[in-house]
Amino acid sequence: MARYGPEHKHETRRRMIDTASRRFKTDGFDGSGIATLVSDAGLTNGAFYGHFASKDELIAEVMAEQLARQAEQVEALPAGTESLAAFIADYLSPAHRDDRAGGCPSAALLDEVGRGDLATRDAYTQGARRLVDAVARHLAADDRLPSDEARSRAIGVLALLVGAMQSARAITDRELSDHVLATAYTHAMAIATSPAHLHPAPTGQETR
């Protein structure tokens, strides 16, 4: 019997996560049985259980990996609003809209994650937090915004991007779908580039 080393096992696990991510984003968690998932990866059911205890464990792994990869891409960009603008434009592009399988995990699966088990939601929470921090870093570059405001704006930008992409994909009128993406870009950039807010004095103190 052939024996495979740790590297082969890692590559097999990696292939399973990669192919499962595309299948989940295309068909959803419930629309993807283990038989289909292992077939996509060129494996057998027995091989699946050599890497994952259950489909739920694979789902949590996929969400963690997908969000980590997305955050890494944002983190790798030179700090600043110019890089953030490029990320926003790429996210809200028709090409991304038309590539559900290869696109953002949040836009494809967020509603299902919200109904998922605790491990899946925890994996998503950790990944979302890292992505927020990655976007906030660009907003706070060169001390343009205070860190707390940069983080709040990052949350607003990401929420707008995901919601707009979900809407654009649901709309069957191509022109209207394109308009959703273009309008979302305008508003996301407004959130990202408007001047820092003037914070009011704490309650009970007067401004001077």
Nearest to 110 by CA among 162, 58, 168: 162
Q: What is the arithmetic mean of pLDDT over 142-146?
A: 90
Q: Regarding predicted confidence, which is higher, 206 or 13? A: 13
Query: What was the pLDDT predicted at 3?
Result: 55
Residue 151: inside a domain, yes or no? yes
pTM of the model: 0.88
Query: Which pLDDT band holds residue 43 (cuts at 50, 70, 90)?
Result: confident
Phi then psi for residue 203, to 5 deg, are -55, 135
Average pLDDT, the chain: 91
Question: Would you say residue 10 lies in a domain?
Answer: no
Residue 40, domain member (yes or no): no
Q: Is residue 87 assigned to a domain?
A: yes
Kindly state the average pLDDT of the residues 181-199.
90
> What is the token pair recorded at 94?
């028709």
For residues 80 and 141, the answer to whether their CB atoms sit within 8 Å is yes
Is 150 a member of any domain?
yes
- Which residues 6+ apart lie within 8 Å of 2 measured at CB? none
Furthest CA-CA distance within the chain: 81
pLDDT at 68: 97
Task: Report which of 56, 60, 16, 21 is spatially closest to residue 39, judged by C-alpha positions.
Answer: 16
Q: Tell me if 180 is assigned to some domain.
A: yes
* Domain of 88, in residue numbers: 55-193
% residues pLDDT > 70 (the chain): 91
CATH of the domain at 84: 1.10.357.10
- Kindly provide the b/e burial profile for residues 14-36, where b requires at least 16 CB atoms within 10 angstroms of the residue's own CB: eebbebbbbbbbeeebeebeeee
Q: Which residues have a Cβ under 8 Å from the Cβ of 111 and sit 6 or more positions away?
A: none
Q: What 3-state class would DSSP assign to 10?
A: helix
Number of domains in the chain: 1
In the predicted model, is pLDDT for residue 128 greater than 60? yes
pLDDT, average across residues 78-100: 97
Q: Please determine, for residue 58, whether its predicted confidence score (pLDDT) is greater than 70.
A: yes
Mean pLDDT across 62-76: 97
pLDDT recorded at residue 207: 40
> Domain for residue 13, yes or no?
no
User: Is 112 contained in some domain?
Assistant: yes
Gap between the Cα atoms of 185 and 191, Å rounded: 10
* pLDDT digits 0-9 by tens, 21-33: 999 999 999 998 9
**What are the DSSP E strand ranges found in the chain?**
none
pLDDT-derived band at 201 (thresholds 50, 70, 90) equals: very low
